[in-house]
Amino acid sequence: MVVWDEENVVHLLGRAGFGAKPSDVKKYLKMGQALTVEKLVGVKPSKAKGPSKPSNDKAELKKLSTWWAKRMAKQNTRRLQEKMALFWHDHFASQFSVVKNVRRMAFQNRTFRRFGMGDMRTLVHEVTRDAAMLEFLDGKKNRKNNLNENYGRELMELFVLGVFSFDGTEENYSQTDVIEMARPTTGFQIDDKDIGFFNPARFDDGSKTLFAGKPFQATGVLGVENVDGSGTLLPPATNIIDILFTHTDSAGNLTMPRFIGKKLWEYFAYPNPSAALIDDVTSDFRAGGAYVISDLLRSMLLHDEFYSPAAKSSSVKNPCEYVFSALRGLEAKSKHTETPGALAAMGMELFEPPSVNGWNNGPAWLSTGQTLSRFGVGQAIAAGRDKNIVLLKPEKIIPKNATTEDEVVDEILGRLGIAGTTPAGTRQALIDYFEGQNDFENPAVVETKVRGAIALALQLPEASLH
């Protein structure tokens, strides 16, 4: 059973959001684990959308990126919702350089915020008809007698099933399935308001067979949606999203829950979870075929294994996690006009994941160039004296009536959430850095030694892990 202490509160808020202010830790420690988790997962869908124009102008994209960065950095009750928007942006990756339309990227971002913690079927349906996705994976070009396989392939490979079964021994689909999946996803176009819509005149309404010879084989006029004679939008006789959700391995294990459950666990906890663990945390998600994403998140965040030592030190913070958790913990302020550029320098340009596979998470964030950029950002946060970029007041970091360097170092490490993982020798090196200067009423000590210790702490390996 999990002991609900400060360490576990900091861990939860760091994973299910982007870090915590000291006041957050006190608040949720008092609230208790169950209520805290419910507070995070129980938020209502949001229709919030950043500034957008139907433009290919990079300046307009920066406005949208700045708006989202600020939202991720400052949201409290919706912190998990924003974390999930970032997760789905990585999972259903679309590149602005291909879409070339800021408004379409903003609409997709809103889709992740609106549907990203609800019914998985609805989310996949909304992505299928999303204008940015229709542009990025050529869905708008996919029509009867002129098929484009891109979206149908990625729908199976990257979005819902994965290439192989959980144990890696079985292929989840064939090239024939790719073709048969392209056919029911025909008919979508984009209107002049950058909204995806279904045009039945472009739909392949012939009989199709998905997963031939499998227990979950489906044959018929398969599709995503259809239109009756009056023009009313209706589901097809058999929806291919429903078919995907019936996919199983040869032992009868449902594919989608394991695939999504594993990816979410790795994003929030640690790599390579066991099948038994994933089956456990996806139990409520699977119950009754509901597939409500918040049910899966709740099970994960309440699970004892989520608070295990392996879950607290085995994942590399992505650039958003690194920057926003530091700002929150140190109570620094920013208008975030420079944040998108800083994130891009560290390898995470918002609205521009490197490919349809999303970002290379994990150790890839710590390549030589990206680590140097990360150090530079950490130094900029510590040195922040400009409210338009970063404003950090080091005097707020110093414990009241502090008289020793130890107290200040421990406060810095605690605010960064690494007090329990920083080696004793490293802690002592930070103490030694003060060179005995512990007059914390002296502005020179505060402006040089305290800021310097913050910069050094942000460059520690522990500051990039969680």
Helix (H, G, I), strand (E, B) or coil at 286: helix
Q: H/E element holding 226?
A: strand 226-227
User: 325 and 226, same structural domain?
Assistant: no
**Is 17 a domain residue?**
yes
Residue 196 reports pLDDT greater than 80: yes
Write the DSSP symbol of residue 156.
I
Last residue of a domain, one of 245, 277, 310: 245
Quick one: three-class SS letters along 75-105?
Answer: CCCCHHHHHHHHHHHHHCCCCHHHHCCHHHH
Domain-ending residue, one of 230, 245, 260: 245
pLDDT of residue 463: 96
Contact 109, 49 (CB under 8 A): yes
The three-point CA angle 258-259-264 to 5° equals 95
Q: Which domain holds residue 94?
A: 6-245
Q: How confident is the model at residue 231 (pLDDT cuts 50, 70, 90)?
A: low
Q: Are residues 205 and 112 in the same domain?
A: yes
Is 304 in contact with 11 (CB distance < 8 Å)? Answer: no
- Residue 290 placed within a domain: no
Instruction: Decide if 272 is inside a domain.
Output: no
d(CA 332, CA 310): 30
Q: Residue 121: pLDDT above 70? A: yes
Residue 115: what residue type?
Answer: F
pTM of the model: 0.96
Name the DSSP letter for residue 412. Answer: H
State how many domains the chain has. Answer: 2
Instruction: Report the half-sphere exposure of 71 (CA within 13 A, side-chain side).
Output: 23
**pLDDT number for residue 230:** 67
Q: Is residue 119 part of a domain?
A: yes
Among 334, 351, 311, 253, residue whose Cα is nearest residue 10: 311
- Is residue 227 located within the same domain as residue 90? yes
Mean pLDDT of the region 130-137: 98
Q: Please indicate, yes or no, whether residues 227 and 92 belong to a single structural domain of this protein.
A: yes
Q: In which band, very low, low, confident or very high, does the pLDDT at 42 lie, cut at 50, 70 and 90?
A: very high
Which residues, 6 or more positions from 82, have their beta carbon under 8 angstroms from its beta carbon? Answer: 17, 18, 71, 72, 75, 113
Residue by residue, DSSP assigns 413-464 as: HHHTT-TTTS-HHHHHHHHHHTTT---TT-HHHIIIIIHHHHHHHHTSGGGG
Query: Looking at the domain assignment, is residue 297 inside a domain?
Result: no
pLDDT tens per residue, range 247-296: 999 999 999 999 999 999 999 999 999 999 999 999 999 998 999 999 99
DSSP3 helix / strand / coil % (the chain, rounded to 5): 55, 10, 40
Q: What span, in angstroms and rounded, lies between the C-alpha atoms of 236 and 172? A: 24
| Pair 237, 101 in one domain | yes
Which contiguous run of DSSP H or E holds residue 375? Answer: helix 368-382
Q: Does some domain include residue 288?
A: no
Residues comprising the chain, all counted: 466
Looking at the chain, the whole-number percentage of residues with pLDDT higher than 70 is 98
Q: Are residues 345 and 427 in the same domain?
A: yes
33 and 165 in a single domain? The answer is yes
Do residues 350 and 68 make contact, with C-beta atoms less than 8 angstroms apart?
yes
Q: 51-105 pLDDT, tens per residue?
A: 999 999 999 999 999 999 999 999 999 999 999 999 999 999 999 999 999 999 9
Ramachandran angles phi, psi of 45, nearest 5°: -55, 145
Judgement on whether residues 198 and 336 belong to the same structural domain of the protein? no
Q: Are residues 330 and 231 in the same domain?
A: no
Verify that 217 and 337 share a domain, yes or no.
Answer: no
241 and 352 inside one domain: no
Are the C-beta atoms of 430 and 409 separated by less than 8 Å? yes
Q: Is 308 a member of any domain?
A: no
Asked if 324 and 234 sit in the same domain, the reply is no
Task: Indicate the average pLDDT of the chain.
Answer: 95
Residue 286 lies in a domain: no
Helix (H/G/I), strand (E/B), else coil: 401: coil
Report the alpha-carbon distance of residue 184 to residue 347 in Å, rounded.
36
> How far, in Å, CA of 52 to CA of 233, rounded?
28
Residue that finishes a domain, picked among 245, 265, 292: 245
**Taking the C-alpha atoms of 48, 50, 54 and 59 in order, what is their torsion angle to the nearest 10 degrees?**
180
